[in-house]
Structure 1
Amino acid sequence: MLADVRELVTCESPSDDRAAVARSAEVVAAVGHRLFGAGPQLIVIDGRTHLRWRFGVGPPRVLLLGHHDTVWPIGTLAHTPYDMTGETLRGPGCFDMKAGVVQALHAVASLRDRTGVTVLITGDEELGSPTSRELIEKEAAGCAAALVLEGAADGGALKTERKGVSLYRVRVTGRASHAGLEPEAGVNSTVELAHQVLAVQALADPALGTTVVPTRMTAGTTTNTVPAAGEFAVDVRARTIAEQQRVDAALRALTPALPEARLTIEGGPNRPPLEATASDALFTRAQAIATRLGLPPPARAAVGGASDGNFTAGAGTPTLDGLGAVGGGAHAAGEHVVIAEIPRRAALVAALVVEVTGNE
């Protein structure tokens, strides 16, 4: 397993580099072929490469889900090389989530009967899964469970709740004029943006865990011109679909504060929330299985970040996330994986697949 993790990590695969993701897909395919005795179906959508193995001739019953793309640009290995020291391995993408991919492949390879099992490893998760979302939802539909091999939460906790994500762009159209000669003739988009930023920020509900964050903002052309246009982005995170819908409706109901200014709201929900109800039964099973295997029963965690598990839960499929590597530092220089936990988590996943499918 460690050799496979090293092979995947040392093949750099930034999401926005289609050629690099294609090379990474070849490496993942080769590992899977060696373990399963069969290669995957390579699915290329808009130049982005995804891999799928389906086992058996009946309907799918469980989906193991992961991704092989990372946030790290080509050349990262030159200054942050793969390293294995003591109880820890390090390297770009090891925790998010190449060790999890290896765990998924080895878990399935250990099964005597793989009937009804689907393994889907996508290549654009870090971009928000623009080409793989429909594929993920179709593969999850009708399954008894989706098991997501994203990295675990702190201490190895399983991720039983993930906030839904909505992304927006608020655009303002005003009217330009000379800032010194006749500012009153213009409609100042920067001033309108200031009003809208405060209105948008007020939509958050900390008590419910709903965050509404204005982020990148631009306006104007020159320092002596009343800006005619501007925009800002908004990042929304919500624990429930009801909250996601509330914020969406409120954003679309915004009205200009300045006479003659015009607002345009673009975007919307990107990922539905993974609510606790989608994970409860699977989490209880995972705890019981861990005890049976002599492993510490994992805790549960609610997290703000999203994953493809949001899509499977949104499709109505019971979903358990965070089954991948135990470690930390995703997207950061300190990314790492606890070596001893790699085979333990693979064993937990394998046993969970057997219980869900009912295979011997």
Structure 2
Amino acid sequence: MMRFKGTDRSMASSNSFDSQTILAGIRRWVEIETPTEVPEQVNKLTSMVADHYRDLPVTLERIAGVDGCGDHLAVRSTWGQDRPGILVLSHLDTVHPMGFIARLPFKVEGDSAFGPGIYDMKGGAYIAYHAFRELCAAPTRPPLGITHLFTSDEEIGSPTSRALIENEGRKAKYVLVTEPARDGGKIVTGRKGVGRFQVFIKGVPAHAGSRPEDGRSAVRELANVIQTLEGMNDLARGVTVNVGVVRGGTRPNVTPEEAYAEVDLRVPGTNDADEFVGKILGLTSQTPGVTVTVTGELNRPPYEKGNAGASLYEHAKTLAAELGFELVDTHTGGGSDGNFTAPHTGTLDGLGVDGKGAHTHYEQLYISSLEPRARLLYRLYQTLR
């Protein structure tokens, strides 16, 4: 497993990127539990984050939450806002339910620090803040302004923040996403597009024993639909279709009138998205008297490694080498808010902490990754122009 080499301590006289100092800050964020569906908890952390910035040269804009989600927070440097600059994307919500911290309390074992959301992605959000604070302490301002957007709903697909992310992304010259690193510290330069669909099937009920000929089974038709959907998987092309939720029927002696399924689609490119979204939305019944209705859409477009993203990665790779570690890029099937900005703005993802166990009972970050990853963000803030 990869661990980071030490960095050049001469870059800061008292090492303001000390990993234990950074970890103490991350702990405060982790110990405020923030399930997406508990907006008052997310807002509690949002208030703490806003307080961290109040003595810095920034303006704060808090966007009230809607549809059961928490508030979003936009932090803008007072310099460089008159032209396209750097947008940093972080989310404060986690998948872990309230009370999970009793099962996964903050603790340190060797090089690992544990806690709900510590890897995905409170660690990454915090080191981006820490790097910005150190930037503000430097004697000169960098060429570009910085906007750090903290959102509250990424873990459920960013339904209330997507428009805000896309608007800020179109205004930016570069986008840096603090999702966790992959596979031992790899940066993310591509993600699959993500689609979510609901399948509703309507049949005809009947007594399954005395009048089976009168019935038209919605569950039987659901089996046909599942076979069709599973047949769309094409691992060679990087296309995956997963029927993750199914339900139907009422009683064992009643021909089921209704059935339902939820479907996840992952596609590597725009052409694949157009093809498979069309196929899924175009599903029809194979049984007379039974209807199949499909709703849904591609809720995260494919994040493809375009020229701007490739150039941004090469710059980050050079900076990492100067700091003493190798930065390798990868493509992943998981979606992020970077999917919304990559189609039109150079985007670099996976800039958060290294670790493992996102969304699990053993979620952890590697303490050795804190200083180099924070320094990399600091140098990106300093040098992008």
SS in 1 for 2:320: helix
Give how far 1:183 is off: 1.0
Matched, 1:42 2:43: no
User: Using the alignment, how far apart are the partners of 2:217 and 2:73 within structure 1?
Assistant: 50
Match of residue 323 from structure 1: 351
AA at the equivalent of 1:50: H
8 Å contact kept, 1:282–1:320: yes
Alignment of 1:152-301 (within 5 A): 152-277=181-306, 279-293=309-323, 295-301=324-330
User: Using the alignment, how far apart are the partners of 2:44 and 2:327 within structure 1?
Assistant: 35
SS in 2 for 1:176: coil
AA at the equivalent of 1:345: R
User: Using the alignment, how far apart are the partners of 2:59 and 2:114 within structure 1?
Assistant: 28
User: Using the alignment, how far apart are the partners of 2:61 and 2:106 within structure 1?
Assistant: 29
Give how far 1:105 is off: 0.6
Select which of 26, 45, 53 maps to 1:32.
Answer: 53
User: Using the alignment, how far apart are the partners of 2:349 and 2:130 within structure 1?
Assistant: 18
8 Å contact kept, 2:104–2:362: no
Match of residue 363 from structure 2: 335
Matched, 1:346 2:371: no
Give how far 1:40 is off: 2.5
8 Å contact kept, 1:108–1:350: yes
Give how far 1:153 is off: 0.2
User: Using the alignment, how far apart are the partners of 2:357 and 2:183 within structure 1?
Assistant: 10
TM-score (norm 1): 0.95
Q: Which sits farther off after the overlay, 276-285 or 319-328?
A: 276-285
SS in 1 for 2:35: coil
Give how far 1:122 is off: 0.6
Superposition RMSD in Å: 1.5
User: Using the alignment, how far apart are the partners of 1:33 and 1:82 within structure 2?
Assistant: 27
Unpaired runs of 5+ residues, structure 2, are: 1-21
AA at the equivalent of 1:64: V
Match of residue 307 from structure 1: 336
8 Å contact kept, 2:103–2:361: no
Matched, 1:16 2:37: yes
TM-score (norm 2): 0.89
Give how far 1:84 is off: 2.3
Q: Which sits farther off after the overlay, 321-330 or 252-261?
A: 252-261
1:66-101: CA deviation from partner (whole Å, max 9, x where unpaired): 011111122122232111233221111110111111
Give how far 1:63 is off: 0.4
User: Using the alignment, how far apart are the partners of 1:91 and 1:255 within structure 2?
Assistant: 46
User: Using the alignment, how far apart are the partners of 1:38 and 1:64 within structure 2?
Assistant: 14
1:181-202: CA deviation from partner (whole Å, max 9, x where unpaired): 1111111111111111111111
SS in 2 for 1:154: coil
User: Using the alignment, how far apart are the partners of 1:170 and 1:129 within structure 2?
Assistant: 22
SS in 2 for 1:42: strand
Unpaired runs of 5+ residues, structure 1, are: none
1:288-344: CA deviation from partner (whole Å, max 9, x where unpaired): 111122x21211111111111111113x11111000011111001121111121121
| Identical counterparts, % of pairs | 36
Give how far 1:37 is off: 5.2
AA at the equivalent of 1:51: L
8 Å contact kept, 1:68–1:98: yes
Q: Which sits farther off after the overlay, 318-327 or 76-85?
A: 76-85
Give how far 1:38 is off: 4.6
AA at the equivalent of 2:72: H
8 Å contact kept, 1:156–1:298: yes
User: Using the alignment, how far apart are the partners of 1:84 and 1:193 within structure 2?
Assistant: 48
Give how far 1:45 is off: 2.5
AA at the equivalent of 1:281: S
